[in-house]
Amino acid sequence: MGELINHFFKADLIVMTSPAYVFHVTGAMKALLDHFAYRWMPHRPAPEMFGKRAVIITQCLGSGAKSAAKDIKHSLSWWGISEIGIFTGALMGDIVWEKAIPKETRRAYGKDSKSYPKVCTYGLHKIRTHNLITKIKFFFCRMIQKSIHRSDPEHLDGKYWAEQGWLADSRPWK
Ligand SMILES: Cc1cc2nc3c(=O)[nH]c(=O)nc-3n(C[C@H](O)[C@H](O)[C@H](O)COP(=O)(O)O)c2cc1C
């Protein structure tokens, strides 16, 4: 997991994919997400995650791709990621690239989607933002950690928040 999390930290864009198995992610994907439970915001979120963007691609034959994508999005958003794009479909052919590609890129490269650079499928030129929901979640967790840390300074999660400076003025998006 240590190696994996380092890859996450280094990545400019995190891409998570899974087919839908009975309307949810595969067991393998769920196991991966479970291993990162300790990185959820109410525990010890990684500051590196707050500036990241992610794309989730799920696939199914009938229905369930959207709920499978939600499984992943739920975790990613609680890791602190604000910008999460979702693509679902039965086949690659179902993905309407023209819709996925941001207007600015479409303008720059014209109507012929074949001429788009391969990396432009999700607004990579976009300036990073931290949305309000992430901030609200953060402040809610901070309130809890503050009270935990006050009553037990040795509590692992509270100690981590204090060490990051988040119980004082520091914020992961600064
Ligand atoms: C255990 C299992 C559960 C599945 N559940 C769903 C489902 O709920 N909805 C759906 O549309 N497809 C379902 N599928 C189909 C997959 O989402 C997917 O389309 C298919 O497995 C991909 O082809 P592959 O197995 O050859 O990789 C399921 C497949 C498996 C093996």
User: Could you read off the pLDDT of 17-60 as tens digits, one per residue?
Assistant: 999 999 999 999 999 999 999 999 999 999 999 988 899 999 99
In the prediction, which pLDDT does 65 show?
A: 93
CA distance 35 to 29: 10
Query: Residue with the nearest Cα to atom 26 of ligand 1?
Result: 19
β-sheet bridge partners, residue 55: 15, 85
In the prediction, which pLDDT does 115 show?
A: 54
Per-residue b or e along 103-113, where b marks 16 or more CB atoms closer than 10 Å to that residue's CB? eebbeeeeeee
| CA 96 vs CA 7, 19, 86, 91: distances in Å | 29, 18, 12, 11
Q: Does the pLDDT of residue 94 top 80, yes or no?
A: no
Q: Which of 60, 67, 71 for a ligand 1 pocket mutation test, highest count of atoms within 8 Å of Cβ?
A: 60
CA distance 23 to 166: 37
Spell out which residues line ligand 1, taking CB within 6 angstroms: 19-23, 59-64
Q: Does the pLDDT of residue 72 top 90, yes or no?
A: yes
| Higher pLDDT among residues 125 and 24, named by residue | 24
In the prediction, which pLDDT does 104 show?
A: 67
In the prediction, which pLDDT does 96 show?
A: 66
Q: Does the pLDDT of residue 135 top 80, yes or no?
A: yes
Residues, the chain: 174
User: First vs last Cα of the chain: how many Å apart?
Assistant: 27
In the prediction, which pLDDT does 110 show?
A: 65
Non-local CB neighbours of 173 within 8 Å, separated by 6+ positions: 50, 51, 130, 134, 135
| Contact status, residue 87 vs residue 57, Cβ threshold 8 Å | yes
Query: Mean pLDDT across the chain, nearest whole number?
Result: 86
| Contact status, residue 119 vs residue 111, Cβ threshold 8 Å | no
In the prediction, which pLDDT does 118 show?
A: 46
Output the CA torsion sign for 80, 83, 87, 92: negative
- Integer Rg of the chain from CA: 18
Q: Is 62 helix (H, G, I), strand (E, B) or coil?
A: coil
Distance 171 CA to ligand 1 centre (A): 41
Given pLDDT bands bounded at 50, 70 and 90, which one contains residue 87? confident
Query: Residue with the nearest Cα to atom 11 of ligand 1?
Result: 62
In the prediction, which pLDDT does 6 show?
A: 93
What's the whole-number mean pLDDT along residues 93-97?
65
Q: Does the pLDDT of residue 125 top 50, yes or no?
A: no
Q: Which token pair is 155?
A: 């509590």
| Higher pLDDT among residues 46 and 12, named by residue | 46
Please state the pTM of the whole predicted model: 0.83
Q: Which token pair is 40?
A: 């959820």
Q: Which token pair is 19?
A: 């087919």
For 111, list phi and psi in degrees, rounded to 5: -80, -20
Q: Does the pLDDT of residue 97 top 90, yes or no?
A: no
